[in-house]
A and B are shown apart, each in its own frame.
Chain A
Amino acid sequence: MSRLLPYPLLAVSLLAMWLLLNGLSLGHIVLGSVIGVAASNVTAALQPPRSRIRRWHLIPKLVAIVLVDVWRSNVAVARLILFPGQHRRVSGFVIVPLELRDPAALAILACILTCTPGSAWVEYDSTANKLLIHVFDLVDEAHWIDLIKNRYERLLLEILA
């Protein structure tokens, strides 16, 4: 199993991508599977860090939370751009101490924070395991630290870790 499929998730993702691009049919399932297995074996030569997903059932929850947050952040930032006079907006940097160390989990956190228009991932230090983000509308630093740690990081720790 592990010799044929060193990165099963990658192989499945490639198969899914193949089917999305070419349509669902038996021939494409076979061809996509061959490509998925072959490509994930080639990738093994690069030895990317291996992450194990432990709790699959929490992934939809994370996706739902992120979609809602990204939407709310879109609305908030759009409002601030269109009506800049409504309240005095202060932007600033926040340092967030992290517990996450898994590279895949950090990458997902980067995607989440970047896709939320209100926050931008600026710098990460792996030695101190601290993250520097820039916040568009900074009202309360503690609120952002709490948001990242309790809303995203805890779920990511449970899913990957």
Chain B
Amino acid sequence: MNHAADLPVWAALLVSFLVLLGAGLTLVGAIGLVRLKTFYDRLHAPSLGATWGAGGILLASILFFSVLQSRPVLHEVLIAVFLTVTTPVTLMLLGRAALYRDRSENAADVPPPIRADGEIRSGDTI
């Protein structure tokens, strides 16, 4: 960033704040991933980095380049959109895999499969 020095003070402060906020939330999410005890609890921790963690950094990026280039630079919005749309895919995959494992091991604290009353479906694996 050769031109970072050209950034006005207000923008520099705001960009720093947003970058630190995003990085901080992502760090907390990573700490949670290490610290939390159960798999299902650990599912929640990375969401911090995927939502406002990434959001803070992307907002900072939008602000930084928009101010420097004196025109709106908005393609970071696409990163936010695709991150939001794709996160559920991996999370559901991991969650359902864990649920399948726990149910087949008859683990405690795992709810039984949801099904409509009295109905048995052919595709039911559990």
Q: Is the CB of B51 within 8 A of A115?
A: yes
- Which of B32, B40, B115 interacts with A81 by CB under 8 Å? B32
Interface of B is mostly: helix
Interface residues of B in 7-33 (CB under 8 A from A): 25, 28-29, 31-32
* One of A77, A114, A119 near B87 (C-beta < 8 A): A114
| Contact B32 A115, beta carbon cutoff 8 Å | no
A120 touches B28 (CB 8 A): no
CB-CB contacts below 8 Å: B67-98 with A: 74-75, 77-78, 84-85, 87-88, 91-92, 95-96
Chain A residues near B31 (CB, 8 Å)? Answer: 81-82
List residues of chain B with CB within 8 A of the CB of A119. 44
A130 in the interface (beta carbon within 8 A):
yes
Most buried by A among B43, B84, B119: B43
Q: Is the CB–CB distance between B77 and A20 below 8 Å? A: yes
User: Cα distance A80–B6 when bound, in Å?
Assistant: 40
- A117–B32 alpha-carbon span in the complex (Å): 11
A-B pairs with beta carbons under 8 A, tally: 112
Closest to B98 in A: A122
CB atoms of B48 and A122 under 8 A apart: no
Interface assignment of A158: CB less than 8 Å from any CB of chain B: no
Q: Which residue of the partner chain, among B25, B51, B75, B92, contacts A110 with CB atoms under 8 Å?
A: B92
8 Å CB contact of A122 from B29, B78, B96: B96
- How many angstroms between the C-alpha atoms of A70 and B110 in the bound complex? 26
Is A121 in contact with B44, judged by CB distance below 8 angstroms? no
For the complex, give the distance between the alpha carbons of A110 and B96 in Å. 14
- A116 and B114: CB pair below 8 A? no
User: Are B78 and A77 in contact, with the CB atoms below 8 A?
Assistant: no
Which residues of chain A from 53 to 82 have a CB within 8 Å of any chain B CB?
Answer: 70-71, 74, 77-78, 81-82
**Chain B residue with the shortest CB-CB distance to A13:** B81
CA distance A71 to B28 in the complex (A): 14
Q: Which residue of A lies closest to B33 (CB)?
A: A81
Contact between B95 and A123 (Cβ–Cβ < 8 Å)? yes
